Amino acid sequence: MVYDWLKGLQDGAINPLGISGPFLLALLKVLLLIIPILTLVPGLIWWERRLLSWMQDRIGPNRTGTITFPDNFPLKALAGKKIRTFGLLQPIADGLKLFLKEDITPSHVDRKIYFIAPAIALFPAFALGGTLPWGPHTGIYGLLTPVANIEIGILYVLAISSLGAYGVVLAGYASNNKYSLMGGLRASAQLISYELGMAMAVAAVVMAAGSMKLTSLVEAQEAPLWGFVEGVQNWFIFTPYGLVAAVVFLIAMIAETNRAPFDLPEAENELIAGYHTEYSSMKFAVFFMGEYAAMFVFSGVFAVLFLGGYNMMPFQWDVLANQIPAMRGFFEFMASANYWLAPLTFIVKCAAGITFFIWLRATLPRLRYDQLMNLGWKTLLPVGVANFIVVGLWVVLTKIWGPVGGFVSLLVAMVFLAVLYLNFVSRTRAEAIGLQSRKIALVDPAPSQRRGITLVDPNKS
């Protein structure tokens, strides 16, 4: 019934609201994307704080929302009892606090840009999900998701995520504060550097799937594993090239969302709070929300690209049902569960991605700036390019020798490249890094040897 109604909307049928059908459907699609993100962000903040505290052997926020009933409470069942919410209301309390706080605008800021920056920061986080399919492309989900199933789906994601730099950069500039400016500068350099690695990782997957449409990318992952193992889905993370691409993408993704260990733009022990030092109350909350929404949506992108999208388990249920007729009923049940639980599966995958983000934050120390740049330019980008070449090789060889021959030659090529890398590149680089140290001149060098900045004594002039 719902399906018929939605189908009617798509075909332009008159609906009781009197709005044009396709328009209403589009609105519905957007709301179905935005509302889950908006409602899940407080939950994410709670989850991050609790999980971090468990990992750090603390308790974390667990009190907010606890109601203790007095012993003489009229309802005997509740008297003397506690209702615990595990601190789930903490983010709401925080949000309320931020909302009601005085909104301070420092007098020295570039006012227009200062006000626009949080909005610009929030826009990409929400727009990013525009091409994400959170359900299968057939039946009712096909009508509801993705918002726009365009040919350039993954390029859209890359383009919008690259706009994410502006919010941070402009906030840093408009604050007119040296620390904020440093944060903005770092953010712009970091985003530019990691976008390349990310694009190369994506390009490998796109080449393997032969399409940039996100729905086609998921479909390509529903094919048999490696092209010849029937019954198992070809999730890209299970393929050798996909695994490499996934690692590169994951690292670049964390850098793009400015999360620890790549949170240099807001490194609190170096830059106070980086680009949002001068922001208070609701504007700060908007930055915060943008970051969490971006984390959520990027986890979704990762799930679509590498983890089979909305598929619950990496099995081709229909193929298995034909191969093992004895368990046909079970496999058919699983196939329909896979279909109807698709949105839930997708959210669970997003949540897993966010848990990984938090886990990394609890585990790794922040990178130094030169380490950040080296990782982006000297490791991720070459690995991504090498992976890209390997995928190209695999595509060609599969066409010549069939799936098995192609896969074997892919493995051989990867082992060969790894040996080459370990023997030559990493050894020379390890030597270079081992000898690297910072020169600190304890004695003021002679004026002739001074390079760069020359200090001028203000008392003499």
> Distance between CA 297 and CA 40 in Å, rounded?
11
User: Taking the complex as a whole, how short is the minimal distance between the CB of residue 94 and other proteins, in angstroms?
Assistant: 31
Exposed (0-12), middle (13-18) or buried (19+): which is 214, by Cβ within 10 Å? buried
Among 152, 319, 360, 417, binds other proteins (CB under 8 A): 152
User: Taking the complex as a whole, how short is the minimal distance between the CB of residue 119 and other proteins, in angstroms?
Assistant: 13
Q: By CB under 8 A, is residue 155 in contact with other proteins?
A: yes
Q: Which stretch binds other proteins (CB under 8 A): 15-23, 85-93, 169-177, 321-329?
A: 169-177
Which CB, 170 or 307, lies closer to other proteins? Answer: 170
Q: By CB under 8 A, is residue 351 in contact with other proteins?
A: no
Query: Cα–Cα distances in Å, from 358 out to 164, 231, 322?
Result: 21, 34, 42
Among 10, 85, 149, 162, binds other proteins (CB under 8 A): 162
**Are 252 and 195 contacting, i.e. CB atoms less than 8 angstroms apart?**
yes
Q: By CB under 8 A, is residue 395 in contact with other proteins?
A: no
Among 173, 238, 241, 394, binds other proteins (CB under 8 A): 173
| Token representation of residue 440 | 């600190």
User: Taking the complex as a whole, how short is the minimal distance between the CB of residue 199 and other proteins, in angstroms?
Assistant: 9
Binding-site string for other proteins from residue 73 to residue 112, where x marks contact by CB under 8 A and - marks none: -------------------------------------x--
**Are 66 and 90 contacting, i.e. CB atoms less than 8 angstroms apart?**
no
For the CA atoms of 290, 296, 300, 302, the dihedral, rounded to the nearest 10 degrees, stands at: 90
* SS3 assignment, position 230: strand
Binding-site string for other proteins from residue 209 to residue 238, where x marks contact by CB under 8 A and - marks none: ---x--------------------------
Q: By CB under 8 A, is residue 169 in contact with other proteins?
A: yes
Query: Cα–Cα distances in Å, from 199 out to 35, 119, 157, 193, 263?
Result: 28, 26, 10, 11, 21
Among 188, 355, 374, 379, binds other proteins (CB under 8 A): 188
Binding-site string for other proteins from residue 189 to residue 208, where x marks contact by CB under 8 A and - marks none: x-xx--x-------------
Exposed (0-12), middle (13-18) or buried (19+): which is 64, by Cβ within 10 Å? middle
**Are 130 and 146 contacting, i.e. CB atoms less than 8 angstroms apart?**
yes
Which amino acid type is present at position 124?
P
Q: By CB under 8 A, is residue 418 in contact with other proteins?
A: no
Chain contacts with other proteins (rule: CB under 8 A): 110, 113, 150-152, 155-156, 158-159, 162-163, 165-166, 169-170, 172-173, 181, 184-185, 188-189, 191-192, 195, 212
